[in-house]
Amino acid sequence: MRGLLALLALVLLTGARDPILVPEVSQHTVEVRQGFTGTELLLFGAILNPEGTRAGRDYDIAVVLKGPIQSILVREKRKVAGMWINAESTGFRSAPLFYAVASSRPIRQIVDEKTAAIYELGLPSLQLSPIGTIDTPVQERFAAGLVDLNRRGQLYQEQDSGVKISEQVLYQARIALPSSVPTGEYTAETFAIQKGRVVASAISRVEVRKLGFEGAIVRFADQQSFWYGLLAVSVSVLMGWIAGRLFALV
């Protein structure tokens, strides 16, 4: 009897083991050159048992591509006397410059709000930490404005049926990077979800970098910020002086 119980426990424990994800990205480096019009990343992989065999269960997959994380100041514009002026403003400490989520089904159908918030699954679940203390309604208004602005610029994306799963083994998702995609380090995180619970996750890395003359300018600005600022001011003064001389000759 003891041997039978031990064997049953072993079978139950073996069957309850969570799967593993083997993720991959079509490009780990995206090179932004002059005339760059955007590109598309293919995020794909497999859902396997720890032994490396087919998992064979009903899993949902969600893929999140996010980065770089920076502080952002959001200003609200208001129309006064026929002119648009800056009114209230709020800063967010950790806002992604790019965020895209693709899932096999709508996020609200595969996880609850708490789980979505923990893993930042979906635009409503982004954790945008405000700088300072502000009222919750004000924070929500500015957060919604930031999300809407970036969504219209294709920097924030959400695809409810963007992940295709084949035979409960292979998955793939395509995420478009617009021409205005920010440079920096990105994380591509894949989540396997079953019965509302995240049972496995895995991360891949993607780097977006500028090359050529524009890349050299960006590196110079990052590494020599003082001299870059001084050069920019000098060029502006020189261009202003040249424009003034040209108008004087007319």
Exposed/middle/buried for residue 171 (C-beta within 10 Å: 0-12, 13-18, 19+)? buried
Closest CA to 163 of 61, 66, 46: 61
Residue 43 to residue 189: CA distance in whole angstroms:
10
How far is it, in rounded angstroms, from Cα 100 to Cα 90?
23
Phi and psi, residue 126, nearest 5°:
-65, 130
184 closest CA partner among 206, 154, 203, 202: 206
pLDDT of the residue at 8: 36
If you average pLDDT over every residue of the chain, what do you get? Answer: 82
Residue 204 one-letter amino acid: S
pTM > 0.85: no
**pLDDT at 13 exceeding the cut of 50:** no
Phi, psi dihedrals of residue 81, rounded to the nearest 5°: 55, 40
The contacts of residue 82 (CB under 8 Å, 6+ apart) are none
Task: Output the CA–CA distances (angstroms, integers) from residue 47 to 51, 61, 99, 206, in the order listed.
Answer: 11, 9, 24, 21
Q: Give the gyration radius of the chain's Cα atoms.
A: 24
Laid out side by side, the sheet with 60-80 consists of 29-32, 197-210, 184-194, 60-80, 83-103, 156-159
Q: How many residues does the chain have?
A: 250
Cα 94–Cα 98–Cα 104 angle in degrees, nearest 5: 110
**pLDDT level of residue 75 (50, 70, 90 thresholds):** confident
- ∠ CA 172-176-179 to the nearest 5 degrees? 155
The DSSP line for 23-66 is EEES-SEEEE-TT---EEEEEEEEEE-TTSSB--S--EEEEEEE
The pLDDT of residue 94 is: 86
Q: What is the pLDDT of residues 211-250, one digit of tens each?
A: 755 555 555 555 666 665 766 677 777 777 777 777 776 6
The two three-digit tokens of residue 42, written as one number: 């293919």
- Residue pLDDT, tens place only, 112-138: 999 999 999 999 999 888 887 777 788
